[in-house]
Amino acid sequence: MTAIETPIPVTGMPRIGDPAPSFTASTTQGDISFPSDYVGRWVVLFSHPADFTPVCTSEFMTFASMQKEFAAYNTELVGLSVDGLYSHIAWLRTIKDKITFRDMRDVEVTFPLIDDVSMEIAQKYGMIMPGEDSTKAVRAVFVIDPKAVIRAIIYYPLSLGRNFDELLRVVKALQTADHFEVATPADWRPGDAVIVPPAGSCGTADDRMTGGVDGVECEDWFFCTKQLPADEVDAAIRHR
C-alpha cells in the first residue's frame, strides 16, 4: 500500500499595496500593536530564521549599528523570529557581551524583536516557506509606509545574509519617489538623476523631445530624466 503523503501547507502573503496585517505581540522592548503603534513612521519589518545562529547574528549587529541611519529617515526597525522571548533576550545579551563582527563589538540591539513561537505572525506575513524550512522563518523584509501600506517586499533564503546598504537605499528611494513624484532608475542613489513620469499627451512628448521642458533630458519620448541634487533629496526626506 502506498503511503498517503500529507501536503505541505501553502500560506498566502500580503502584497505590495496591501495594508500591513495587524497583530499584537510581546517583544524585547515590551508589547506592541502593529502597525497602529507606528502610524506616521516608516517601518522595516524583518524576520530571521533562529536565535543563536551566525548569519542572523551578523545581521542583527549590522541592523543595530545602522539603527540611527534608518531613524534619520523616519524609519523604525522591527525584527521577528519564531523563537521565544527568553531566547531572544539571552541571544541579544550574548551579542552585546561576546560577539565581534567587522569591527562591531559591544553592540546593543534596542529595536523590538518579536516573540512568535506560535508562528501566527510569520504565517500571516508569509514568512514560513516549507520548501525552504517548515519550522523557521526565511529572511523576509517588508518596507511599510507611514499609512501602514506595504511598499516593498524582499525575500532571502536562510543561507544568504541581507545587504543592509540596499535596504536603506530602498527606504530613501521610496521616500524620494513619493515626495518628488518621480521614479528612480537602476542603482539609483541620492544625487543621481531621477526618471520623470511618462508624457501624458502627444504635445508633452513633442515638447520634451524638442527641449521645450527646462531641466528634462530625453533619450526618447518615454525615457526622460532630470537632475535631483543629493542635498535637495536630503532636505526633503531626512527626519530632523
Kindly list the catalytic residues: 56
Sheet strands side by side (includes 30-34) = 30-34, 23-27, 113-115, 75-81, 42-47, 139-144, 150-156
CA distances (Å), 203 to each of 54, 175, 213, 230, in order?
A: 58, 30, 11, 31
Amino acid identity at 9: P
Specify the pairing of strand 42-47 against strand 75-81.
parallel
How far is residue 79's CA from residue 74's CA, in Å, rounded to a whole number?
Answer: 17
CA distances (Å), 26 to each of 94, 114, 155, 218, in order?
A: 20, 6, 24, 52
Concatenate the DSSP letters of all residues of 190-230 into one string.
TTS-EEPPPPSSHHHHHHHHTT-STTEEEEETTEEEE---H
Q: How many CA atoms lie within 13 A of 125 on its CB side?
A: 33
- Looking up cell 501547507 gives 9
Cβ-contact 135, 82 below 8 angstroms: yes
Cell numbers at 188, concatenated: 539609483
